[in-house]
Amino acid sequence: MTEVLHKVVDELRQGEAYLPFREDPNVYAKKFYIESYGCAMNFSDSEIVASILHTEGFGATRNLDEADLIFLNTCSIREKAEQTVRARLHTFKKLKTEKPGMLIGVLGCMAERLKAKLLDEEKLVDIVVGPDAYRSLPALITETEGGQKSVNVLLSRDETYADISPVRLVSNGIAGYVSIMRGCNNMCTFCVVPFTRGRERSRDAVSIVAESQSLFDAGYREVTLLGQNVDSYYYTSPDGEEVRFEHLLERVAQISPLLRVRFSTSHPKDITDDVLHTMAKYHNICKYIHLPVQSGNTRILAHMNRTYTREWYLHKVKRIRAIMPDCGISTDIITGFCSETEEEHQDTLSLMDLCRFDMAYMYSYSERPGTLAAKRYEDDVAEDVKKRRLTEIIELQHSHQRVSYQADLGKTFEVMIEGESKRSENDWSGRSTQNKVVVFPKTDQPLKKGDYVQVKISSATSATLIGEIVG
């Protein structure tokens, strides 16, 4: 995973706990510890939860031993994520026997889906709170401290947490995330999100721009606009003004040419030429789109209820590159979906050859209880076949990435310094506008995180560009 957003998500999947930015935990009488798993929206939600808890007098801690509250912000997208969370809950349950009075809570998508099992059958948690019920956390904590189990997983048609200023969790101090909408109206048959996060609703544009402005004023130099499907963003102001995603994107870009703007994620059916032309118009809107395809076969796409065909997707990619020839494109691919044949698998490989993605997130199909696919279709592709097909997809993607990165040799890119390279304190690391990681030696120049430099590329791996500052 190449962009900071995905690097943070990787760390969260490993159970990394984060302290709020510039917080002194000693000023709080009670402390909470939070781990987040899964998508960037969960990371963003953890910032909202931290803000709500701070208001009620709780401070964050990285030390489990001093935590009065332990929260896991969970994911139900894949079975492996749920297994990881269960393992952590068993660890916390043992810790609780040594510290009476400690409360354990589960937040997010898994909380909504498995509330009964977590509370009653397995008795692993004290509090269960769904993604739309975080405002109720203080009251639920009070109830639980009184000796009863507490749960609120009600979904909302209007909750966007627009009035809550998120507590910025420790990151590189340069890149921040701004949630612009919640929920999803796309009923992809493999996905639990519509059932765990509810229907789609957009946050008001004024609060989004204000939050982005506040990040810039605080020294941040990149914002990522988040949503399950950002391109379907639509808000009508009290005076009747219609704000679509291209309008919102432009308003955030106009805050300052020094503020980079990214967004995630796009549904192929909703990204419009207006969005693409807005991206092309502004230098500080990064030329990178994450455009999940899932499958390269039209029948399987229909089975998935993706609402587009193979040909339609290929046309969309062609349109992106016509408007922005230098645009980086990444994707999601699921192999081994219900009834997928060998020929249909080959269609996915051939689509990859045609699109030449710069990066991809690749998975074998994992049936999720409660989804439309689980109700309608048999998970009938053998696990060894799924594994073999996934290996073929990964190997092909790696070959495409090597070509993509080698093609950048000799080119010069504007890179925002995000910090030191993980491998050497003598090197800086950042990303190009196309979202490729760039590593380059430090010089005598008094540079710092957030500064922009021109870097000429001299070598490359399949996941990193290496160069030196020029000019």
pLDDT for 18 equals: 38
Backbone CA torsion sign across 166, 429, 464, 313 = positive
For residue 258, give the nearest of 225, 283, 224 by alpha carbon: 283
pLDDT for 167 equals: 79
SS3 of residue 328 by DSSP: strand
Contact, 58 vs 27, CB < 8 A?
no
Q: Binning pLDDT at 50, 70 and 90, where does residue 157 land?
A: confident
For residue 109, give the nearest of 37, 10, 189, 169 by alpha carbon: 37
3-state secondary structure 178-205: EECEECCCCCCCCCCHHHHCCCCEECCH
What residue has token string 């010069």? 412
- Residue 337 scores a pLDDT above 70: yes
Classify the phi-psi angles of 134: left when phi > 0, otherwise alpha if psi is within -120 to 50, otherwise beta: alpha
pLDDT per residue over 264-286, tens digit each? Answer: 999 999 999 999 999 999 999 99
Q: Binning pLDDT at 50, 70 and 90, where does residue 8 land?
A: very low
Q: Regarding beta strands 437-441 and 464-470, do their DSSP bridges make them parallel or antiparallel, or are they unpaired?
A: parallel
Q: What is the total residue count of the chain?
A: 471
113-117, 319-323, 356-360: least confidently modelled range:
113-117
66-80, 136-150, 204-218, 300-314: least confidently modelled range:
66-80
pLDDT for 121 equals: 61
Read off the tokens for 320: 């992106």
pLDDT for 95 equals: 85
pLDDT for 459 equals: 98
- Residue 59 scores a pLDDT above 90: no
pLDDT for 109 equals: 82
Q: Binning pLDDT at 50, 70 and 90, where does residue 340 land?
A: very high
% of the chain residues with pLDDT over 90: 67
- Residue 5 scores a pLDDT above 60: no
pLDDT for 149 equals: 87
Q: pTM for the complete prediction?
A: 0.86
Contact, 205 vs 235, CB < 8 A?
yes
Mean pLDDT of the chain: 89
Domains of the chain, CATH where assigned: 4-152 (3.40.50.12160), 175-406 (3.80.30.20), 412-470 (2.40.50.140)
CA 293 remoteness from chain centre: 17
SS3 of residue 380 by DSSP: coil
Round to whole Å and give the CA distance between 222 and 214: 12
- Residue 55 scores a pLDDT above 70: yes
SS3 of residue 468 by DSSP: strand
Round to whole Å and give the CA distance between 47 and 171: 12
Q: What mean pLDDT is predicted for residues 188-198?
A: 89
Round to whole Å and give the CA distance between 300 and 190: 11
pLDDT for 20 equals: 40
First to last CA, the chain: 29
SS3 of residue 247 by DSSP: helix
Q: Is the pLDDT higher at 462 or at 379?
A: 379
Read off the tokens for 456: 């000429």
Round to whole Å and give the CA distance between 412 and 455: 5
